A and B are shown apart, each in its own frame.
Chain A
Amino acid sequence: MKTWTIVKHVLLRIGQDPRTLILIVLTPLLFILLYGYSFSSGRPTHLRIAVSNADNGLASIRTAEVGRITLTLSLGTKLVQSLDKELFDVVLTQEPDRIQNDVKSGKYWAGLVLPQNFSHALANEALRERGPQKITHQGRSVELLPPETSEGPLATLYLDDSNPVVTASVALSLNETLTRLVAEQQATPTLTNPIEVHALYGGKVSGLDYTAPGVIGFAMTLITIMLTVISIVRERTSGTLTRTLIAPVRPWEVSLGYTLAFALISLLQVGELFLVSHYLFHIRFAGSPFLVALIVFVYAIGLQGIATLLSTVARNEFQAMQFILVLLIPSIMISGVFWPIDAMPPNIRLLSWFSPLTYANAGLREVMLRGRGISGVTLELGVLAGFALLMLLLGVRSMRRQGYSA
C-alpha cells in the first residue's frame, strides 16, 4: 500500500523544513497563550473606579433603653478598604461632583459617591432589614431599633454600562462587599444562603474551563485546514500532484496518505494545546486523555476531508484562504464554542447541528469538564466518525478529479 509512502513523504517534508515546522509548533502555542492570558480569570480585572468618601463614620441609632446613641462605625472607610483589589483599581477623589462626568468621559468604569451620612444610613437600613439587634454598648446591653423612616439611598454609583460584563461584575462585587461589611458588624447575624447549591462537578469549572475545549477545537480546525489546503493546492499548482497521480498509485491511497499524515500533525498540535492549557492555565481535565485524543483524531480526519475538498475548489492559495474564512468563521460562531447552543435562536440552533465543530466541542466538554467515559460521548463520536467517513469518500473523489483535471 502506497499510503505509507505518502504519509512518510509528507512528514519527512515537513520535518526537514524548519519554517513549516516552527509554524506548526508555534501557531498553536501562540493561540493558546494569548487565549489563556487574555481570558484567564473569565472576568474583568483592574477596572478603574473612582471613589469619593465623605462619610463621617458616625451612625445615630434608636435604642429601646437609652434613646438615641451614636456609634462610630466608619463603614465608608471599611468599604473602600474591602473593595476587591483584583477587580478594581481604586482612585480616591475629593471631588464627588466630577465623578459623573469622569465616568461619562471614559476615565473610569464606575464612580462611587459615599455621602457624609453613609455609615448612619447603612447601619439603619441594615437594622430595618433585619429587625432589632442586641449589642453591648459602653458596658451595658442595649437593643438597637430600626429607624422609623427610610434613610433614602445609601450611596450613588455611576456606572459605565456600555459593557455588560463590566456592569455585572461591578454591581455584583459592590453588593457582595456591602453585604459582607454589614454582616461583619457587631452582633448582626449573617443571612444564610437561602438556596443550597450542590455543585455536581466540584464547583470548580471556570469560564476558561468551559470555553477551552471549544477554543482548542477551533484552533485545531483553523490550523489543520489551512495547513492541508495550502499543502495540497501547492502540490497541485507545482505539478507534483499530477506526477504522483500518474504513478501506479490509487487516488484513495494518496488521499488517505495525506489525511493520515496531517491528522497526525493535528493530533500533535492538539496535544500541545492541551498540555499548555492544562499545565499553564490549569484547565480542567477530568476525563481520559485517550478519549480526548480519539475525539480529536476522528475530528481531524473529517477536517482533512474538508480540506481536500476545499483544495479542489480553490484555484490557488489566495482563493483557498477566502474559502477557509467563509466556511470556518460561521461554523465557529454557531458551534457553541463561546456561548451555549441552548442560548441561540431555534433556527440557528438547527444550523449548528450541521457543524462538525459542534460535536467535537460537545464531546471534548463532556470528557474534559464532566469526566465522561466513552459511553457518554457515543453520539458525538458517532457523528464525527460518520462525518469523517463521508469526507474521506468525498476527498478521494475530489483527489481523483484533481488528477484528471490538473
Chain B
Amino acid sequence: MMEEEEVVHAQGIKKSFKGRVALAGLDLSVRQGQLYGLVGPNGAGKTTLIRILCGLLRPNAGEAVVLGWRVPNFRIRSQIGYMPQEVALYPDLTVMRNLAFFAELYDLPREQLEERAKELLELVDLSDRRSQKVGTLSGGMQRRVSLAVSLLHKPRLLFLDEPSVGVDPRLRRSLWEHFSLLATHDVALVVTTHLLEEASRCHVVGFLNQGRLFAEGSPEELLKRTQATSLDEAFTRLEEQSKVTA
C-alpha cells in the first residue's frame, strides 16, 4: 500500500508558559485518513500541542508543518477544523445563527449552508433544535453543536479537543462512528481524550505525559508490546518504562 500523505509533521516542539514546561521537544506525524488519538492525563500538553498545530500558539522551539505549510500559516486555515474544549459558541444566538456566522467566515456559499446545516444537525442528532438558542441547550447538546460548527467547511484535517466530554454513551458511539467514516474519506483527525476506551477506536494512539510523547502505535500494537489486557494498563506500563529509560 502506498504511504498516505503526511498532513502533520512536527519535530522537536517545545513550549513553556512562564517557566512551566507544557511541551518538551515533541515529534508527531499524522497521515491523511488517519484517526490519531492523543491520550494523556490532564495537563499532559494535549491542548497546547493542538493549539500549536492550529497556528494559535507559536512554539518556543522546533517546527510543525501542517498540510504542507509551516505553522502558523494563514493558507491552511480553510482546510483545518478545530473543536476546542470549551463550547465556544454564542449562547445568545440560535443553533442556526451560530452555524451561519461561522459558515460565512469559511466562505461557505449561502445556498450550501442550508443543506450542510441539515446534514450536520442530523449527524449530531439536533435537527429539531435548529431555532433554539445555544445557551438554552444542555451541555452535551452544546458540544454537539460545537462539533457541527467545526465540520461546516469539510476540513481535510480536524482537531478535536476532548470531543466526548459531556456526551452520553449512545451519542459518543455514533460520533466515533462518524469520525471513522470521515477518516475513510481521507480526512485526518487528531483527537485528544483521556478515556482509553475511546482511544481503542483510533488507528494510531500517542501516549502523552509531561510534554512528551512516550509511546505511539496502533492500539493492538501497544497492547501486544506491553502484554496488557487494556490500554489503561498499557499506558501505565509504558509510562513506567519511559521513566526508567529516562
Contacts and interface: CB of A to CB of B under 8 A. Distances in A.
Interface of A: 2, 5, 9, 12-13, 16-17, 238-240, 242-250, 403-406
Nearest to B149: A243
A404 B105 contact: no
Given A248-B77, A250-B74, A403-B56, A16 B105 contact: no
Interface size range on B against A: 20 to 34
Interface stretch (B29-37, B88-96, B204-212): B88-96
The dominant DSSP class at the A interface is: helix
B191 interface: no
Nearest to B106: A247
B57 A243 contact: no
A13 B80 CA distance: 26
Contacts of B57: 404-405
Most chain B CB inside 10 Å of its own CB: which residue of A2, A17, A248, A405: A248
Nearest to B152: A247
A239 B92 contact: no
A399 B47 CA distance: 21
Contacts, number: 67
A404 B58 contact: yes
B88 A248 contact: no
A29 to B, nearest CB: 23
B97 interface: yes
The dominant DSSP class at the B interface is: loop
Most chain A CB inside 10 Å of its own CB: which residue of B58, B91, B104, B107: B104
11 contacts: A2-B105, A5-B104, A9-B101, A16-B92, A240-B90, A245-B56, A246-B77, A247-B106, A248-B106, A248-B107, A250-B74
Interface of B: 54-58, 72, 74, 77-78, 80, 82, 84-93, 97, 101-102, 104-107, 149
Given A238-B87, A243-B89, 10 more contacts: A13-B90, A16-B93, A238-B88, A239-B87, A242-B82, A242-B84, A246-B56, A247-B106, A249-B77, A404-B72
A253 to B, nearest CB: 10
A288 B30 CA distance: 63
